[in-house]
Amino acid sequence: MATTTAQFTLTSTDIADNSLSISNTMTLTTAGTATGITETTGLARKKIASATLADLITIASTDVTAAKSAKVYIKNTSTATDKWGLVGVGDSSGTPIYIGRLYGGDWMLIPWDANSGEDITMTMNDATATIIEYMVFFE
Amino acid sequence: MATTTAAITLTSTDLLTDSLSLSVTQTLYKAGTTTGLDSIQYERLEVATGDVYDIVDATAAGANKANKIYIANKSTNDAYYIDVYIAALAIGRLYAGDWAFFPLEAAAATQDVGIEAIGGAQIVEFALIHEGKTLVAS
């Protein structure tokens, strides 16, 4: 087994009267066990130059097993804070469930059930070529 | 404005042939600006099994913005997990000790964030850093 950790910190000295400091580290394990996840897509980059709904990550391309403990990391590498990509879960030929907007410089990490028809989609707010980085950890 | 940062460090020495070491930090801005998000909701809950419970209600004031949410499953039982829902879709499982951090579109009133505890009651922490929420008059 492999040992992969994801450390998170959220900090602010002025969002409230008292400082905010949240830290959390998880070890990426297979579903229901303490055994480390051993499969990954590696860090991938995809250029998106269209404002139409498209698949960013498909179940078919990753061979992820459904309803386990897969995790997906995505980053919008743009430096433009007014450019965003709307991330969804679903079929790009239909209407995905929209999660949220990744603005330039934003990243996200979500668990992914990857049931049939639940690809990860992306819709950019304009056709400016934007590099999106992603990495899937799965079993 | 407030300055709030969210950072991730992904590391492994044996997942790949070469070491994995990825670190990213972002400042949490309001939609399309470089003005910091300045509202927060931070909670710790015990979630019972048997139903999907909303932890964030999507409201008009927060729709189509740059809200961010952090969710952590504080359970220590490896077999337990929570299903995380956006609207009516379970997007994935957070097992004991897992966390997630993602933007929240909340475009419609139906796009709440829900969680369902599977295996047993679990402690869940979440923080919503947001641009606003529609308050309900008492």
Give domain status of residue B15, yes or no: no
Yes or no, beta carbons of A31 and B64 under 8 Å apart: no
For residue A54, the one-letter residue type is A
A61-66: long-range contacts, CB 8 A cutoff, minimum separation 24: A62/A114, A62/A136, A62/A138, A63/A138, A64/A112, A64/A114, A64/A136, A64/A138, A64/A139, A65/A114, A65/A138, A65/A139, A66/A113, A66/A114, A66/A115, A66/A116
Q: What is the ipTM of this complex?
A: 0.97
CA–CA gap between residue B60 and residue B66 (Å, rounded): 13
Residues of A in contact with B19 (CB under 8 A): none
Give the chain A residue nearest B39 (alpha carbons): A15
pTM exceeds 0.90: yes
Give domain status of residue B138, yes or no: no
The CATH number linked to B111 is 2.60.120.10
Give the range of the structural domain holding residue B70, as residue numbers without chain letter: 38-130
Average pLDDT, chain A: 96
β partners of residue A111:
A71
Count the domains in chain B: 1
Tokens of B4: 């709030």
Give domain status of residue B95, yes or no: yes
CA–CA gap between residue A10 and residue A116 (Å, rounded): 33
CA–CA gap between residue A119 and residue B2 (Å, rounded): 35
Tokens of B78: 């490896």
Domain A39-138: give its CATH superfamily: Jelly Rolls (2.60.120.10)
Give domain status of residue B89, yes or no: yes
**Is residue B85 less than 8 Å (CB to CB) from chain A?**
no
- The ranges assigned to domains in chain A are 39-138
Yes or no, beta carbons of B12 and A108 under 8 Å apart: no
pLDDT digits (tens, 9 = 90+) for A69-124: 999 999 999 999 999 999 999 998 889 999 999 999 999 999 999 999 999 999 99
CA–CA gap between residue A74 and residue B14 (Å, rounded): 22
Give domain status of residue B92, yes or no: yes
pLDDT digits (tens, 9 = 90+) for B50-78: 999 999 999 999 899 999 999 999 999 99
**Residue count of chain A:** 139
pLDDT digits (tens, 9 = 90+) for B21-45: 999 999 999 999 999 999 999 999 9
Give domain status of residue B126, yes or no: yes
Across A66-90, b (16+ Cβ under 10 Å) vs e yields eebbbbbbbbbebeebebbbbbbbb
Point out the residue among A2, A97, A108 whose CB comes nearest to the CB of B12: A2
Interface test with B, best of A101, A133, A136 (most B CBs within 10 A): A101
Give domain status of residue B31, yes or no: no
Give domain status of residue B11, yes or no: no
